[in-house]
Structure 1
Amino acid sequence: MNSDNTIPYSILELASVASGTTPAETFKDSLDLARKAEGFGYNRLWLAEHHNMKSIASSATSVLIGHIAGGTKKIRVGSGGIMLPNHSPLIVAEQFGTLGSLYPGRIDLGLGRAPGTDQVTAHAIRSDRMQAVHQFPEEVSKIQQFFSKENANAKVRATVAEGVEMPVYILGSSTDSAHLAAKKGLPYAFASHFAPAQLFEALDIYYNNFQPSEYLEKPYTIACINVIAADSDEHAENLSTSLIRMFFGVMTGNIDYLQKPTPMTQELRELAANPAFQRMLKYAFVGSKESVSHKTAEFLKKTGVNELMVASHIYDHQDRVKSYQIFSEIMKELKR
């Protein structure tokens, strides 16, 4: 918790590629957002890992983390997350050990077990990944071992990681990871921005089974939400048409670039009200500052999470920056 009794608020950046733009432009905008987020008081900016999706450019997550950290001064930068079954624990430790030395006290390592892509692509990334999925707890422990000073006597070392401060976060979208985060005494981040169904069950498991560790004395939770904030409810609703089309593409397997917003239509409104849509976008807060503030306060009251992370799928970069600015104002005004 911050000393002024405000709740920390952070950004989950997917580096969404808007229609008519390039990944290079997307990376430029991601850095600009991070710089402005520092000024807005955001605690951290995490980059996701996705593959074979033309609408999301955060594929080489650790490379982007270095780019963002190198272009900012104080905001924490990390992975939301590294999908560990796609990678060798040794390589992850070397990459993040390097980042931790380059940007001391500013790098977070969030670890998840989902593929971040379709099964065919997942197999192309790592043919034995299903075996790695089942070994997720052991592979997390391997990474922690590589970062420990005690590993100096091991036959296999990540020398650039040994003794480097690297907070590890367990990411989850179901209850499985809640058990692991609790058992290992690590902070827990839940993907309620796209998988809200098991949020409360997962939080209960984590709180009730948490075992203090050398890393964390008491539970620490982060929940992610979608936010599209604008000067009016109508403007925000129109901006949200890009989000609705994006999620419709995900649900139908027709993933496309983030599309320009349009005036809200009855057809899009009905689509957003569809139960399948609602299951994914239950925590998409769209509206004016007043509207989003009310929904955010209610969410915090119900969940009791320690920190909020925000994803904002907005086509125009300036509209997105404005949304994050409005949300920062909301969080500065909300007290525990």
Structure 2
Amino acid sequence: MKFIDEAKIYVRAGDGGNGCLSFRREKYVPRGGPDGGDGGKGGDVYLRANSSMRTLLKFHYNQHFKAERGAHGKGKNMTGRDGKSLIIDVPVGTIVYDAETMEQIADLDEDKKMVLVAKGGRGGRGNARFATPTRRAPLIAEKGEKGEERVLKLELKLLADVGIIGFPNAGKSTLISRISRARPKIADYPFTTLVPNLGVVEFHDKTFVVADMPGLIEGAHKGAGLGIRFLRHIERTKVLVHLIDPSQTNSPKKVFNLYETLRKELEGYKKELLDKKEVVAINKIDLTHVREKIEEIKRVFLEKGIEPVFISAFTGENLKELLQKLYDALFGDEGKDI
């Protein structure tokens, strides 16, 4: 399924039904009074979070939504039926904005959470409503009010517990495929991952969701490479995994520089991301020249107060150690020894 995380839609609530202009017509009652009923209320439009949806793709094919109008009033003081409200399902994690003002309307961050986005029009009053002792045969009835209409901008921010970030070809997709049942496209060239991938991890007595983000490059927060389009998806995560590929350099200090560059990109996008819990994972220790540098790389990171975990996403080496660190970061004292 194609991953779409932005969309614009037009919504219109139903118009209220018109009031009825009517008089009693009964045998032996030549001057029957007014009996025009009121019009029904127009249907409202709601957005509802649905955990079974993963993308806003459907809104690229269907962008106009309209609720049912209220029925017109009838004689014999019969009120028109209310219009049926329209409920539009969106993925959990969808933020709703007014497209004109960009004012945030709602953050649908829980399954089945709903928000009213367009209110149906009130039904018009029938002429029976306008009868008075001095005006016994009113010749007026109201038209129903128009339903509200607006253009909405939908922005999806994935709900994941852990976000995996790194430069292109660092092994993010391989890692998520090893620790979960996610099966992203994997190849040995940059930007294989063009959209976020989600995987559910089961470890000890808990499950948590991990998101693999498309690769960042230096200057991403300014639009370089795939830019910051997907960085919004890590805003809701509780823990970030900085996945580092040391295979392209012989300098342990340059490996640390890769980590610093990742943090600078996060800071350039949104400084608050630096406050998240993080785990630094040095990947590709299955390569001989990387394995030989483990102690040197570890020393450089420890001097900065950071204890990395050394893994091979390809062979699975030390992945339990990585998962334990994630488990402890997410669940605190509930963490167990492997």
The structure with the greater share of residues assigned to helix is 1
Q: What's the TM-score, normalizing by structure 1?
A: 0.27
Larger radius of gyration: 2
Q: What's the TM-score, normalizing by structure 2?
A: 0.27
Higher relative contact order by CA 8 Å / sep ≥ 6: 1 or 2? 1
